[in-house]
Structure 1
């Protein structure tokens, strides 16, 4: 009888601890959700006020090519054309992802399929080291190495989209590579064994079996790298030139959404038009971040279905 009572007491104690644990977990999750919703509401309310309070046309904001919120155009509307920054952000991101993807996938294939020992002992520590380097260090290296190289090779100031794309390429390469390695490792071993048993060579197995099976994960890695490149601020600001002009060449100064934000946010007064349009740029960044997250989830679901 005493043993039964002890077991009941222990069970009730465990149930009490489980309830306390569930309550703490729920409160933590609720707090995180509250913080995220608060950030979304704050940025959205500030960004939308440009069009509701200040009377700026959304179409002119997205398609205009002149950025000078302190001046008025011929129609009496402030010159708040954000197209140069939007185009600059997309061009830099796409260039960096286009260059980083083949290098990342090639390194991942080498580390998992060709020489796992060398990859684990040498390449993996190097990649982890690159991930931990602060973005300001990348920007300073780009300012000291990439910009002078571009200036001496192509002329001009050396600042521009291509310089920013090179810096972002180095920054997102370790992220895409590490995610690609994890994806290739997740491909079942019997896929490789079955392919080799049917007479396929190692390269045929890698190309036609491993890579095709890992395609959803590789696409997720690329999208994740693009998301990081799109939101990078300090390193890009240091090498792109920060000229709010439509990009006419890859070697002329340009700007991105993040570079304009980091340069001007501390120089404006809260509630003014000059401040509101910066929050509108931040809202575009937030929408793009949500888009990248949704795209990543969609790719993951499609891969799971296949």
Structure 2
């Protein structure tokens, strides 16, 4: 009888140990096997673009001292397949710190271990030699398995075929109430909130989703677009600099302007970067998912982007001059 009890106790320990192992492995990878296709975003994260109301009214006209120019930078669409799970701006030095895959244009060397010196010496995809780095989380079709190594590298519940954008548009704008000053070289910038689903509020949700044929409608959900249309993501970056730092905790060195264009006290307006991504719109019912942290469940609200300014001072001066004189330039 005693021997049977001992064997029963051993069996219980083995079962409990196995259950704990499974739980730990699941938690470490978002509850899904590494590299396996995972569930897409929740059904409530999708909306028919025709159900999204159009924006009302026109923006206020720019003031007499506004910097009304634009500068478009052509850095391609990541044809070079520059992907990794790093985040130089948020987690410098930490390989795989993003826990999801980012796509890059511009500086071809960017990873967690990049330094100002290595970025300044690296090749770039941008015409005209801009060595800045621009990056964002990838968008996937989760009903199709990834075939390439970079599609399978992220894990943590991020899996499926990476959708390649049909267009990547990088545009710097001015300020609607005044002139802009140059960004300092190696300025770090972030837009959006990678933990928006669990943040408790939408204060830092910045990305807007839409369809190219209906530019007056935008949403924080994944839009279902008309057949033959393009799905769009728009990321607008903060443009009020504290005049001191190129990086800082809690994003205090670079903040957003007010809706009317006014920057907070003791900050200076710098060129405002907007990244626009466009994809061939998936057919209705096709599951798509933004790469995210496991607990964020691929929410479209977690869309975000990063930028490091590696323009030379001379090139940045050209950008500022174009904006402040109201011209429309391509660099």
TM bin (shorter chain): under 0.3
User: Which TM-score applies when normalising by structure 2?
Assistant: 0.26
User: Which TM-score applies when normalising by structure 1?
Assistant: 0.27
Structure having the larger proportion of residues in strand: 2
